[in-house]
């Protein structure tokens, strides 16, 4: 539920309301606003009864239930968009975030070359999998901690932030020691113990990928798991869903961006590489990401895609990446100018 206080309500009145909320089996999860304070509470208590009781507490103007099944990630609770700070940069703020790198970290030479290319193109985030969720048990599974070390070294050399996947509960701390953003892959979007652990034990930013068959509501409920367990630094990533279409690896759900911008305050990254599986389709879809109001795009690059140990077909060469970065520049300028309209804040 959301309790809005009267303008100028005193600190004591706000505290009294929070106390009453707790007495009724709810937890106060956010208190926003200075002049006009809005308190968001979640819990297992009886909402109708609680709202009725709270309306009679001094200083309270109104109370409404949060109608969405997800609460803290909903724009009903917080209309202002979340900016997730990552090192010297951020996702969801004034910059269109480009996350680029190989599918998997393979060798020092490979990841160093990728970091140089990301930096030269103006990207701020280096991606690369050290723990790889592969469909086949016979496919390359990642270099594990050695991969994390190489990734960190390459990112530090070029002043980039590391985005890398954590697959298991037992590895959260280890991966967080090397990463700036913890990626949760499509296959783990409903690994609830993992989501809870990442929520409860780290404040490291998280990029949660949409599952191949996750509805938008399920996707947001997964994000809610992380936030309600204590980590508010969540970025969403639309990476394509499985449909009847078989020409592309998945189908990029471009609808998801404006829909999510209506429903949640969390930033959204588009991943056209995993959505299509084809490098030639990446440039127009990165432009689409800018145009549709995403907060950034994630792409895969490789010094020699034909020899990549995973996802070569969707990995761009460095030249292709440089061209994409160059081509999107005017679009990104428009994006910066039209940001409030793009994310539906000026309606
Ligand atoms: C990835 O980004 O490396 C990846 C495995 O993607 P997804 O989880 O979306 O399949
Ligand atoms: Mn990949």
End-of-domain residue from the set 29, 64, 99: 64
In the reported structure, the alpha carbon of residue 185 is separated from the centroid of ligand 1 by a whole-number distance in angstroms of: 5
Return the pLDDT at 339. Answer: 87
Whether residues 160 and 214 fall in one domain: yes
Domain membership flag for residue 254: yes
Whether residues 106 and 10 fall in one domain: no
**Closest ligand to the CA of 130:** 1
Which mutation among 133, 212, 249 tests ligand 1's pocket best, with the greatest number of atoms within 8 A of CB? 133
Whether residues 57 and 128 fall in one domain: no
Whether residues 111 and 217 fall in one domain: yes
Whether residues 90 and 6 fall in one domain: no
Atom 8 of ligand 1, nearest CA residue:
185
**Closest ligand to the CA of 185:** 1
End-of-domain residue from the set 16, 36, 64: 64
Return the pLDDT at 347. Answer: 53
Atom 10 of ligand 1, nearest CA residue:
186
In the reported structure, the alpha carbon of residue 246 is separated from the centroid of ligand 2 by a whole-number distance in angstroms of: 18
Whether residues 24 and 106 fall in one domain: no
**Closest ligand to the CA of 305:** 2
Domain membership flag for residue 256: yes
Domain membership flag for residue 170: yes
Domain membership flag for residue 75: no
Domain containing residue 263: CATH number = 3.20.20.70
Domain membership flag for residue 198: yes
**Closest ligand to the CA of 209:** 1
Domain membership flag for residue 156: yes
Which mutation among 125, 128, 186, 314 tests ligand 1's pocket best, with the greatest number of atoms within 8 A of CB? 186
**Closest ligand to the CA of 308:** 2
Which mutation among 139, 209, 210, 270 tests ligand 1's pocket best, with the greatest number of atoms within 8 A of CB? 209
Whether residues 158 and 279 fall in one domain: yes
Domain containing residue 47: CATH number = 3.30.70.1140
User: Which atom of ligand 1 approaches the CA of 240 most closely?
Assistant: 9
Whether residues 8 and 116 fall in one domain: no
| pLDDT, averaged in runs of 10, over the chain (347 residues) | 94 96 92 86 93 96 94 92 95 96 98 98 98 96 98 98 98 98 98 98 98 97 97 98 98 98 98 98 98 97 98 98 97 93 76
Domain membership flag for residue 105: yes
Which mutation among 132, 165, 298 tests ligand 1's pocket best, with the greatest number of atoms within 8 A of CB? 165
Whether residues 58 and 90 fall in one domain: no
**Domain enclosing residue 271, as ranges:** 84-342
In the reported structure, the alpha carbon of residue 86 is separated from the centroid of ligand 1 by a whole-number distance in angstroms of: 20
In the reported structure, the alpha carbon of residue 299 is separated from the centroid of ligand 1 by a whole-number distance in angstroms of: 11
Whether residues 19 and 98 fall in one domain: no
Give the pocket of ligand 1 (CB within 6 Å): 103, 129, 133, 165, 185-187, 209, 239, 274
Domain membership flag for residue 71: no
In the reported structure, the alpha carbon of residue 268 is separated from the centroid of ligand 2 by a whole-number distance in angstroms of: 18
Q: Print the SS3 string covering the chain.
A: CEEEECCCCCHHHHHHHHHHHHHCCEEEEEEECCCCCEEEEEECCCHHHHHHHHHCCCCEEEEECCCCCCCCCECCCCCCCCCEEECCEEECCCCCEEEEECCECCCHHHHHHHHHHHHHHCCCEEECECCCCCCCCCCCCCCCHHHHHHHHHHHHHCCCEEEEECCCHHHHHHHHHHCCEEEECHHHCCCHHHHHHHHHHCCCCEEEECCCCCCHHHHHHHHHHHHHCCCCCEEEEECCECCCCCCCCCECCCCHHHHHHHHECCCEEECHHHHHCCHHHHHHHHHHHHHHCCCEEEEEECCCHHHCCCCHHHCECHHHHHHHHHHHHHHHHHHHHHHHHHCCCCC
Whether residues 122 and 19 fall in one domain: no
* Domain count for the chain: 2
End-of-domain residue from the set 64, 99, 116: 64
User: Which atom of ligand 1 approaches the CA of 298 most closely?
Assistant: 2
Whether residues 194 and 230 fall in one domain: yes
């Amino acid at each position: 539920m959301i309790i809005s206080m009267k303008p100028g309500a005193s600190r004591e009145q706000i505290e009294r309301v929070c106390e009453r909320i707790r007495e009724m089996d709810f937890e106060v999860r956010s208190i926003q606003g200075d002049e006009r304070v809005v308190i968001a509470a979640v819990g297992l208590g009886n909402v109708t009864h609680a709202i009725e009781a709270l309306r009679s507490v001094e200083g309270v103007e109104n109370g409404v239930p949060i109608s969405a099944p997800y609460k803290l990630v909903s724009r009903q609770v917080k209309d202002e968009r979340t900016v997730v700070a990552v090192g010297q940069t951020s996702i969801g703020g004034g910059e269109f975030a480009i996350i680029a790198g190989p599918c998997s970290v393979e060798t020092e030479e490979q990841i160093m070359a990728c970091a140089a290319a990301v930096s030269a193109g103006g990207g701020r985030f280096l991606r690369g999998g050290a723990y790889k969720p592969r469909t086949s048990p016979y496919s390359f599974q990642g270099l594990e901690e050695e991969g994390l070390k190489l990734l960190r070294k390459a990112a530090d050399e070029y002043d980039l932030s590391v985005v890398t996947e954590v697959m298991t509960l037992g590895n959260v701390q280890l991966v967080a020691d090397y990463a700036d953003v913890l990626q949760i892959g499509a296959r783990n979007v409903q690994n609830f113990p993992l989501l809870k652990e990442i929520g409860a034990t780290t404040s490291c930013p998280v990029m949660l990928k949409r599952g191949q068959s996750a509805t938008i509501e399920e996707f947001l409920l997964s994000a809610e798991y992380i936030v309600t367990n204590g980590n508010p630094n969540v970025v969403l990533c639309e990476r394509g869903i499985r449909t009847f279409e078989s020409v592309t690896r998945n189908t990029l759900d471009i609808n998801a961006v404006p829909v999510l911008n209506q429903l949640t305050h969390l930033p959204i990254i588009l991943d056209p590489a995993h959505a299509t599986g084809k490098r030639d389709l990446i440039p127009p879809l990165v432009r689409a990401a800018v145009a549709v109001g995403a907060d950034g795009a994630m792409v895969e690059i490789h010094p020699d895609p034909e020899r990549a140990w995973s996802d070569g077909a969707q990995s761009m060469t460095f030249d292709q990446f440089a061209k994409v970065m160059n081509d999107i520049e005017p679009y990104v300028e428009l994006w910066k100018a039209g940001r409030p309209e793009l994310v539906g804040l000026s309606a």
